[in-house]
Amino acid sequence: PANYSADQIFCTGDMNLYYDVRHPLWYKRPDWFGVVGVSRLYESVDMRLSYVTWQEGINPFVIVELLSPGTEKEDLNEVSETVPAATEAVANNGQTNREANSETAINNAELTQEPQPEKPPRKWEVYEQILRIPYYVVFSRYTNRMRAFKLEGGHYQELEIPDNRVWMSEINLGLGLLLGEYFGVTRLWLRWYDAEGNWVPTPEEQERERAEQERERAEIAESQLAALIQRLQDSGIDPDRFLND
């Protein structure tokens, strides 16, 4: 983002994101997330091995999850809490098995009274309710569908993105889909774009652009030198007298 220096931007993928100081071992592992306003290095001196929100003091600004058949329902908060109903086979005395065993089950529960271990919340709750991530984006490589959610009124609201672009005014950047080649693979890729709608170049693209600029400068210098030599020759002056000094 133009409104943040490079040293105040941290982004990564497949890194443990610890979110609850009361449960310091609980974490989520987003496919990618970005943070602004925090040092790129841990304590400004070292690479991060994880991101601990209560130590950093700043939560991620945007999280991206890449959908897969095994994680899609959780990533989109579509996992049901409903427990399947037990089969109520009727016993010989006219009671269902559930009714016949209910008293025994209650007695057993009273005897054990073991507290159930607390379960970590799902991704959606962590991102929306605990960390309150402003933007949550999901993309399926199987359907090439991108969906974006913005935190509004304490809850995620899905954004309309008919052009497969979502603009994030807070950082003056947008995220969209671009058909291109990356790592030797041609497909739709998630890419950042600026306020003018131009795609932000990748490091590889920046290097190619730098090399192209160097080549153009070399060609211009060579052309200028050739023109100078020609002018000297036209004036009856031996160019080697100057060029070899």
Percent of the chain with pLDDT over 70: 83
Residue with tokens 């054990």: 112
Q: What is the mean pLDDT of residues 194-200?
A: 94
Q: What is the mean pLDDT of residues 157-163?
A: 95
Higher pLDDT, 132 or 240: 132
CA 177/CA 199 separation, integer angstroms: 10
CA 44/CA 38 separation, integer angstroms: 9
**Whether residue 78 has pLDDT greater than 50:** yes
Q: What is the mean pLDDT of residues 166-176?
A: 96
Higher pLDDT, 221 or 137: 137
Q: pLDDT averaged over the chain?
A: 85
Task: Give the dihedral of Cα atoms 127, 132, 135, 137; nearest 10 deg.
Answer: 10
Q: Express each pLDDT in 17-76 by its tens digit.
A: 999 999 999 999 999 999 999 999 998 889 999 999 999 999 999 999 999 988 899 999
Q: What are phi and psi of 241, to 5 degrees?
A: -65, -30
**Whether residue 184 has pLDDT greater than 50:** yes
- Domains detected in the chain: 6-79+118-200 (3.90.1570), 205-243 (no CATH)
Given pLDDT bands bounded at 50, 70 and 90, which one contains residue 110?
Answer: low
**Whether residue 171 has pLDDT greater than 60:** yes
